[in-house]
Structures are given as structure tokens and as C-alpha cells.
Structure 1
Amino acid sequence: MGRLTQVTIDFETSHLLFPTIIAIVLGLLGLAIVIRDRGRIAAAGGYWAGIWRDMDKPRFLGAIGLSLLYFSLMVPVGDIWPNTGRGFLYCSIPYVFLTGVLFMHDRSPRSLLPLAIVALAGPIFVWWLFTYPLFLTLP
């Protein structure tokens, strides 16, 4: 009977409880949508073929590639300076700049200057905000 009042927490895995519950709920909801709309999903092949044909493939695939590169490099770069957030900072500056360049129509030096300022100031401000006032470390 005395064990009913004791609580033990496994700190190695306790942080995984809510993400696991949310993933299960989202998976069940997704499965319910697939079951409910299976006819419309099966008939959507022509719709997606038209979307793929008409889309701006270099920008779409470039944004996906830059995002994958950004997220895959952030932790290894951050491991060089652990618990400082510099991985976030040093990866975010080129990511913001290159993504902006990718989506710009006019890439003249005059139009690249504001983008370069934003690419420098934005990540530096976010890094400073999380590091000093909020005392949170970024990767």
C-alpha cells in the first residue's frame, strides 16, 4: 500500500510522453481522413500532375533543399561551440540570405542589400533574445 504514494520519474524518457501521445492522435486522425476520403484521394492523381507541371520547380525544390541542409547542419555546427546557440546563428544567416535570393525576382546589388541586412540582423536578434533575456540555448 505504501507504493501507491511513491512517484518515480524516468528522466531519460519522460520528455517523450506528450510528443508520443500527439503523434498517435495525429496518426489516428490522418487514418480517419484517408478512410473517409479514399475515393477523392484516389482520383486526385490528375490534379497533382497538373500542380507539378505548373509549379515553379527551381524555387520549390531549392527551398526544400536549403531547408534540409539548414536543419541537418545546425547541430553539427552547434557541436563545435556547445550550448552557445552559434550553430543556429551561423546556419541561419546564410539560410535566410539564400532563401531570400532564391525567391527574389530582381537580384540586383541594390535589392540584395536590404536582404543582406535582414539576413544578418534577424538571426542575430533572435539568437541574442533567446540567449540573454530568455536564457535558452539554441542548437
Structure 2
Amino acid sequence: MGDLTHVTVDFSRSHLIFPEVIGSILAVLALAILIRDHRRIAGCGRYWAGILGEMDKMRFLGTLVLTLVYFWAMEPVGYQFPNLGFGFLFCSIPYVFAIGVLYLHHRTARTVLPVAVMALVAPTLTWWLFTDVFLLTLP
């Protein structure tokens, strides 16, 4: 019974816990969408033509590219400062700023300033919370 309350974490893999949990949740949600909308998804080409015709291609493709670059860059940046979570912090600040600016409809100094402040505050607060409060390592 003593083993039920004893937890061991492999420190070299501890930073992979949250990506695996989030990936699993996203997979379950994708499966639920496929089950619910399987007729529309596999059905006629008019559905997909409508979706592709109405979507904002710049924001869609920009989000995909920025997210891929963000995840790709996090590990190499994190290796420069091992076990401190700076890969997350130093990649999240420009990522949050770039995504925020990408989704702005009117880009002026007045609208970009709150995005810049949030890009500094949100990742820094998240990094501090995970690192110092929860004692979890980030990439």
C-alpha cells in the first residue's frame, strides 16, 4: 500500500507530461468531432469548398507557421539554459506577440501596445507559476 502514495518522476522526461496530456485531450476531442460530423467531413466537396472559400487564409496559415516555429525553437533555446524553462519563456514572448498582432484587425500603436504588454506578462507569469510555485520544469 505504501507504493500508492509514492511518486517517482524521471527528471529527463518530466517536461513531456503536459504535452502528452494536452495531446491526448486534443486527440479525444478530434475523435468526438469526427464521430459527430463524419457525414459532413467525408461528404460532398461543396462543404470543403465553402470552408476554404470563407476562411481567412493569412491568419490560418500564419497561425500554423508561427506555432510550428514556436514548438521547433523551444527545445534548442531551452538547451542553452538547461532545466530553467527559459526555452518556454524566451519563445513564448515573441510567439504571443506575433499571434496577437496577426489577429489584430487594425494595427496601430494603440492596439499593439496591449498585445506587447500581454506578450510580456502572460508567459512570464506562467513561467514563474510553473517554475517557482508548482516546481515543474518547462522546456
Q: Unmatched 5+ residue regions in structure 2?
A: 1-9, 11-15
Paired with 2:79 and 2:59, the residues of 1 have a C-alpha distance of 30
Q: Tell me the TM-score normalised to structure 1 length.
A: 0.72
- Between the two proteins, what is the percent identity of the paired residues? 53
Quote the residue 2:50 is aligned against: 50
> Higher relative CO (CA 8 A, sep ≥ 6), structure 1 or 2?
2
- Counterpart of 2:133 in 1: which secondary structure? coil
The number of aligned residues is 116
Bigger CA radius of gyration: 1
- Aligned-partner Cα distance in 2 for 1:40–1:106: 35
Distance 1:64 1:96 in 2: 13
Partner of 2:5: none
Relative to structure 1, the CA distance from residue 104 to residue 40 in structure 2 (aligned partners, 3 Å threshold; closer, same or farther) is closer
RMSD: 2.9
Deviations 1:40-89 (A, max 9, x none): 54423220111101111000110111111101111111011110000000
Match of 1:82 in 2: 82
Structure 1, unmatched stretches of 5+, are: 1-10
Change (3 A) 1:60 1:97: same
For 1:41 and 1:95, the matched residues in 2 are separated by 31
SS in 2 for 1:132: helix
2:111 is the alignment partner of 1:111? yes
